[in-house]
Structure 1
Amino acid sequence: MATSTQRSGLFRFYIKLTDRFLSEHILSEELTARRGRMGVMGALLGFILGSVMLATLFWQTKQFSQPMLVLSAFIALLPVSLLLSRHMRSCAPLCIATVLAMLAILSLAGYSYGGGYSSTLHWFPLVPVAATFMVGRRFGLVTSLLTLACALAIYWLELNGVTSDYRMTSSELLDIAPYVTVAAILFATLLSEAYEWANDESRRVIKTEREQRSAAEQALDTQKEQSLVTLEAIADGVISTDEQDRITYINPIAAYLTGWPVERAMGRSLSEVFMIFDEYTHEPQGNFLDNCLKEGANKPIGHHILLSYDGREIIIEHHISIIRGHENAVRGLVVVFHDVTVERELTTQLRYQATHDPLSDLLNRHEFEHQLQQLVSQPIDKQHHVLCTIDINQFKVINDTCGHNAGDELIRQFADLIRDDALERDITGRLGGDEFGILIIGTNTEDAVARIKKLRERISDFHFNWEDKSFSISVAIGVVEIDGNTDYLADLMNDADAARQAAKEKGRNRIHVYQPDDHELMRRRGEMRWAAYLNGAIADNRFLLTRQTILPLQEHEKGQHYEILLRCLDESGKISSAGDFLNAAERYNLISEIDRWVVRHLVTWFESTPTAMEATHTVSINLSARSIIDSRFTQDLREMMLRMPGLAKKVCFEITETAAIANFNQAKSFIVAMRALGCSFALDDFGKGMSSLSYLKQLPVDYLKIDGDFVRDLLSDPIDRAMVEHINQIAHMIGMKTIAEYAENHEIIQVLREIGVDYAQGYGIDRPHPIHNEDLARQEAVVDNVE
């Protein structure tokens, strides 16, 4: 037997030699490659052995007999089989041909030249052994049967005297015996080595396969162990079933959530253990799982209520996936779910907090308007709705008098009144501060007003008590009908706000119903739009400064005397006069910012154009009542006056007679503070309130501006002329100069000069024009619009 090193070298030679005669298809599989190599080895050995036997017999007999011819044919079959095996997809034909050729060679040679049946029988066992090695056990068994049949046939031939013409003598057999013996030993040895090599290769392959199988099984076991540990450790519940809807696995979390012990849940129907209901309708969802199995489709994440075995109701989020096997067949399903009860409660709480006012527990403005928008977006047939906005009168008085805690308590109690009066279908909300809203669903205006009147009576009977104080509550209520003509939420809210403001101005506990042709509400809506626009106009500098000359009638002045007039570029690009937007600015507390803008830009213009300041004798600037009582405005104005030396002496501030009388002490303090800087003052629109004459001596003003209503008809109305003369005389007696407004023609100017009025202002003298050149183009539009 060869050593392992020798075997290794011989084995490589064996592989290299035999693979030359085999196709790639045979070599692609390990088992067929081993059998093919055995078949090639057997064919080569058979060819060598048969050729040696044939040459030996021919050398001894010196003749070529019929058995030798047949023997030559079978020997030639072997190389032909080897050549054809390069193109075969199976090694079986090569192996079968080799075994049959060897069987024929042994039978013919042994019987014909080897001494008959007894000598031939010694060689026959080699054939089935070789067949077993090369092809397999089954073919080895068949070959054994064939060998036995051949032996019996030879024996029968010998009994019946059917023998060959030539049979070797004992001496001849002894002569070739060494060659035959060497050939037999060589055949047996090489075949044994080939078997050993094949056996080693098989053991190696089997060992490798076993190691790979063992590693795969170990990896599978490890993976299974990890999967089980993971499934039992995760926070989600996991349940798997077979195709019969029977539970095959349930992890501890799933067992806890369903309330079923693991051992009791195994093998039960999934619908029995995993009982879920619709979160909102509470309808059973058992068919949901059955349909999932029948349809063979995954179900997306859903939210349901899980009813556990111990009666708990748990809100879950779950997902169902189908388990598929061979040929995509449904093998069961996996349900993954987890408890979202706490998250849902937090979400519900957050959603409630996001949509409700924390103080009143009513809807907040955002949610109220959202639901109102949904209602407006729906088509309206015969059913109408009504929007009511309610404002608590004098709420600020209670809040300031008793503190914010009292104000908060009043809001809570007032919200209870609204909530108790509202129907279940109505929508109530707090829109901000002391403003509330009620959306009355499915009601016309008449019925809604009747309900609102009852609410008003309840509010009138209500008294708010705080500590030792008691307050009666009054409200202002605006009502707007929502019909098919309502398109925009903003317009609807503006209409309701305008109606509520109109109700507030009528007095306590008033209700105002909005009508499309209500001129007062249309004016208020216009003011609201202006208020929204003015904020941006201030920030973006969309105002324009113009000037109008004030002409001295009695004495000549060195320098220009003019009034600064304000204009604004509106949304459409049109230039609007101050009368269009000042009421809105005063109502919505924007007038002080506009006054600041005017003074600041005038001072900036003077700084950039020193010649304009030098040419100015007096420049008049209008101030609102709110500005003169604002201490912050006074401080800002003082700082702007001190930015340029000598500026204050050229500035004259105009305040209306009404503003001065209504805020007399504050107006007087403001005038004194500004006069200390050198500023002068004019009392504008004088004559509208003659009751102010008693205060005139106490106000340190420099000019009286006679109201234009008296000047316009001065030529035709003697009373107006008498009023102008009277005011002029009083002013001169006090030491003030007079300025007449609305001097629209030369005749009026001449009469004013005769009366003794000091200055005149109007279109008869000058039209407003820009204060600097860059406004020339805009000023043309200003003049056209003012006309």
Structure 2
Amino acid sequence: MSNHVRDNPASPYLSGEQLLNRLQDGAIGIDREAKITFINPAAWQVLGQSTEQYLGKPVADIFTAQPQSPTLNSALIQQCLEQKKSFGPYRRQQLKKSGHQTITVDFSITPLDSTTAVIIFHDVSHLERYDISLNQLPNFDPLTGLLNRDAIQQNLTELHLQHKASGKPYTVLLLDLDRFKLINDSYGHSAGDLLLQHIANQLKQLLGEREYIGRWGGEEFLCILPEVDFETGLKIAEQIRKGIANFSLSTGQREIFTTTSIGVANYSQDGKHVADILRVADAALYEAKRAGRDRISSSREKHGSFLSIATQLENALRENRIIPAYQPLIDLQTGEQVADEALARIISPDGEPLPAEQFIDAAVHLQLVHRIDYEVARQAILRCSNSVLQGESPHPHFVNISAELLRHPQLIQGILDTALQECKACGDRLGNEKPLVIEITEQALLHNLGEARKILAPFLDFGLRLAIDDFGVGYSSLNYLSDLPVSFLKIDGQLIRRVTTEPRVRAIVKGIQGIASDLDLITVGEFVEDQPTVEALREIGINWGQGYYFGKPRILHERFDI
């Protein structure tokens, strides 16, 4: 049995209403007819009258809808329940108190179960004293009542500027509830939502009013601790970790337990910019989860950690130490080199290369892989033009384009601008075909073939050719072979390694070659490591080979810059 769920026959049933009673924010339950079914203590204190005076009455008697805001009627509540999603937050609404008084609130509507929704509201009357406009009012997450991602990030940016001017430190905590998906899958999203609400409430109680707390996304929370140094931040993070570990949510005859992993980052110890602080916190959180969850991680854990690799990667990008290493592609019939592939490497400050498998996971997680792709592609183009201008015959240069890079049109345009400039310099030496080959994995294409085709269009219109990488791994599809002008098909190395020993794999590779031949595609066998594999691929009809048998990736001593 998972350590998140324990049997507890003796525990009393704790309903959604009882959990909402623990919230510091006002909560009012309403049925499908938009009539009040319960009021939590926080709401009762605001309203100033006993609960019995409100039960069964239309909720519109309490809330006065403002212009451009929906009326709290049965149609809205039924829509909320049927669609099983939250509505709001709705800004600057009026809530009636006893004695005909009104206060200004923000509120959202969230389904609690199939028959009941809950209105969670915040008293924002105090903001009117400062003449805060609607656009300046913080945006709240409708489920938890915390600041949403945009609002907490804006608060961080403003606080950063203040602390930069004063020279004072601050600390950021990025929390993620461990194995939250298991809770949702086992007990339903309503239990998961209630757990998130309680965790949000607990964070408010643990951190108090000075700190900023926001829902970063899903089951992640971001806490900003103003004027808190690194050591104090670690202690506060540990208090939060223990508090969440000691909490349990009772539902039926079971208790749901959860833990949290926390990444800690400090200004200015971990960076001088907001982006640096967030990146360190994110990398530290990833390291905490990778190390076993229910723990805290920070830049203090340097040696061999994900965070250490992420820091190396950031520094390498900043200091232009991302360079290509070139691996040859060989014609299997003639044995001659016919192309090469540019593979990313980090050069350490002492000159030692770091292979991609040691940093690519960090690059993907931190969403930096597009910057690596861009730099490697740019270097490959410059190296190609340099060799052509020195009189060498042009041959294809393969460069990897990730799905992440496809989402950055300005970088794609930068690659095209570099290619155009260098092609003009080479003139008619290039021949009819451009030597650069864009290599993209089939997984990237499968996720959004239409969008990939649209974004790849400038490359293809320019005359660059397209190669599909890792063909045959995962969920292979033939759609893109018919919908895209593919020129090269690189067969996944895991298949190539088995082609000499497993007849079924050999038959698969032979089938791929047959399709490629009919479509006039050049096939490339990856991970070729011995002569028997070469002979098997040659017999099947595979055109080219790539792997350590022909040569390891080689770093050139010169660096090419515009």
TM-score (norm 1): 0.38
Distance apart, 1:626 and its partner CA = 1.3
Aligned to 2:320: 541
Alignment match of 1:594 (pick from 368, 372, 375): 372
Q: Is the 8 A contact 2:263 2:283 kept in 1?
A: no
Q: Which has the higher contact order (CA 8 A, sep 6+)?
A: 2
CA–CA separation in structure 1 for the residues paired with 2:383 and 2:238: 59
Aligned to 2:295: 514
CA–CA separation in structure 2 for the residues paired with 1:501 and 1:364: 25
SS in 2 for 1:723: helix
Q: What are the superposed Cα offsets for residues 739-768 of structure 1, whole Å, 9 maximum, x if unpaired?
A: 000111122111101000011111112222
Structure 1: 5+ residue stretches without partners: 1-356, 374-386, 394-412, 458-474, 482-487, 506-510, 776-787
Distance apart, 1:738 and its partner CA = 0.7
Q: Which amino acid aligns with 2:546?
A: Q
CA–CA separation in structure 1 for the residues paired with 2:442 and 2:378: 25
Distance apart, 1:703 and its partner CA = 0.8
The structure with more strand, counted as a fraction of residues: 2
Q: Which amino acid aligns with 2:399?
A: I
Q: Is the 8 A contact 1:364 1:430 kept in 2?
A: no
Change in 2 beyond 3 A, CA 1:566/1:431: same
The structure with more helix, counted as a fraction of residues: 1
Q: Is the 8 A contact 2:316 2:322 kept in 1?
A: yes
Q: Is the 8 A contact 2:284 2:307 kept in 1?
A: no
Q: Is the 8 A contact 2:241 2:261 kept in 1?
A: no
Aligned to 2:408: 630
Change in 2 beyond 3 A, CA 1:500/1:543: closer
SS in 1 for 2:382: helix
Aligned to 1:448: 243
Bigger mean CA offset, 706-715 vs 620-629: 620-629
SS in 1 for 2:517: helix
Say yes or no: does 1:615 pair with 2:393.
yes
Aligned to 1:67: none
Change in 2 beyond 3 A, CA 1:446/1:724: same
CA–CA separation in structure 1 for the residues paired with 2:234 and 2:318: 36
CA–CA separation in structure 1 for the residues paired with 2:399 and 2:416: 14
Distance apart, 1:732 and its partner CA = 1.8
Q: Which amino acid aligns with 1:744?
A: E
1:659-698 superposed matches below 5 A: 659-698=444-483
Change in 2 beyond 3 A, CA 1:364/1:722: same
Distance apart, 1:504 and its partner CA = 9.3
Change in 2 beyond 3 A, CA 1:556/1:650: farther
Q: Paired residues, what number?
A: 352
Q: Which amino acid aligns with 2:489?
A: L
Change in 2 beyond 3 A, CA 1:619/1:427: same
Aligned to 1:422: 206
Q: Which amino acid aligns with 1:681?
A: L
Aligned to 1:742: 527
Aligned to 1:351: none
CA–CA separation in structure 1 for the residues paired with 2:409 and 2:310: 23
Q: What are the superposed Cα offsets for residues 550-571 of structure 1, whole Å, 9 maximum, x if unpaired?
A: 11124788x8411122221135
Aligned to 2:223: 436
1:16-95 superposed matches below 5 A: none
Say yes or no: does 1:709 pair with 2:494.
yes
SS in 1 for 2:462: coil
Distance apart, 1:634 and its partner CA = 2.4
Structure 2: 5+ residue stretches without partners: 1-151, 179-196, 225-232, 252-257, 272-276
Aligned to 2:348: 570
Q: What are the superposed Cα offsets for residues 638-670 of structure 1, whole Å, 9 maximum, x if unpaired?
A: 211211336561111111111111131222123
1:383-394 superposed matches below 5 A: 389-390=174-175
Aligned to 1:724: 509
Distance apart, 1:737 and its partner CA = 1.7
Change in 2 beyond 3 A, CA 1:497/1:543: closer
Q: Which amino acid aligns with 1:737?
A: I
Alignment match of 1:767 (pick from 545, 552, 557): 552
CA–CA separation in structure 2 for the residues paired with 1:680 and 1:358: 41
Q: Is the 8 A contact 2:237 2:296 kept in 1?
A: no
CA–CA separation in structure 2 for the residues paired with 1:554 and 1:689: 29
SS in 2 for 1:643: helix
CA–CA separation in structure 2 for the residues paired with 1:439 and 1:734: 60
Distance apart, 1:711 and its partner CA = 0.8
SS in 2 for 1:644: helix
1:644-659 superposed matches below 5 A: 644-645=422-423, 649-659=434-444
Q: Which amino acid aligns with 1:620?
A: F
Change in 2 beyond 3 A, CA 1:523/1:742: farther
CA–CA separation in structure 2 for the residues paired with 1:639 and 1:679: 13
Q: What are the superposed Cα offsets for residues 308-353 of structure 1, whole Å, 9 maximum, x if unpaired?
A: xxxxxxxxxxxxxxxxxxxxxxxxxxxxxxxxxxxxxxxxxxxxxx
CA–CA separation in structure 1 for the residues paired with 2:354 and 2:210: 41
Distance apart, 1:699 and its partner CA = 2.3
CA–CA separation in structure 2 for the residues paired with 1:590 and 1:423: 32
SS in 1 for 2:434: helix
Alignment match of 1:639 (pick from 410, 417, 427): 417
Point out the structure with max Rg over C-alpha: 1
Q: Is the 8 A contact 1:388 1:478 kept in 2?
A: no
Q: Which amino acid aligns with 2:382?
A: T
Q: What are the superposed Cα offsets for residues 222-279 of structure 1, whole Å, 9 maximum, x if unpaired?
A: xxxxxxxxxxxxxxxxxxxxxxxxxxxxxxxxxxxxxxxxxxxxxxxxxxxxxxxxxx
Q: What are the superposed Cα offsets for residues 563-593 of structure 1, whole Å, 9 maximum, x if unpaired?
A: 1222211356431112222222222232222
Distance apart, 1:618 and its partner CA = 1.1
Q: Which amino acid aligns with 1:641?
A: A
CA–CA separation in structure 1 for the residues paired with 2:200 and 2:296: 30
Aligned to 1:294: none
Distance apart, 1:533 and its partner CA = 2.9
CA–CA separation in structure 2 for the residues paired with 1:525 and 1:428: 33
Q: Is the 8 A contact 2:283 2:366 kept in 1?
A: no
Say yes or no: does 1:528 pair with 2:316.
no
Change in 2 beyond 3 A, CA 1:524/1:630: farther
SS in 1 for 2:470: strand
Q: Is the 8 A contact 1:476 1:501 kept in 2?
A: no
CA–CA separation in structure 2 for the residues paired with 1:637 and 1:554: 33
Distance apart, 1:496 and its partner CA = 6.9
Change in 2 beyond 3 A, CA 1:738/1:523: farther
SS in 2 for 1:642: helix
Q: Is the 8 A contact 2:495 2:509 kept in 1?
A: yes
Change in 2 beyond 3 A, CA 1:616/1:414: farther
Q: Which amino acid aligns with 2:357?
A: G
Q: Is the 8 A contact 1:712 1:742 kept in 2?
A: yes
TM-score (norm 2): 0.51
Distance apart, 1:531 and its partner CA = 3.2
Aligned to 2:37: none
Distance apart, 1:715 and its partner CA = 1.4
SS in 2 for 1:671: helix
Change in 2 beyond 3 A, CA 1:612/1:656: farther
Alignment match of 1:758 (pick from 543, 553, 558): 543
Aligned to 1:266: none
Distance apart, 1:432 and its partner CA = 11
Q: Is the 8 A contact 1:552 1:759 kept in 2?
A: yes
Alignment match of 2:362 (pick from 584, 588, 602): 584
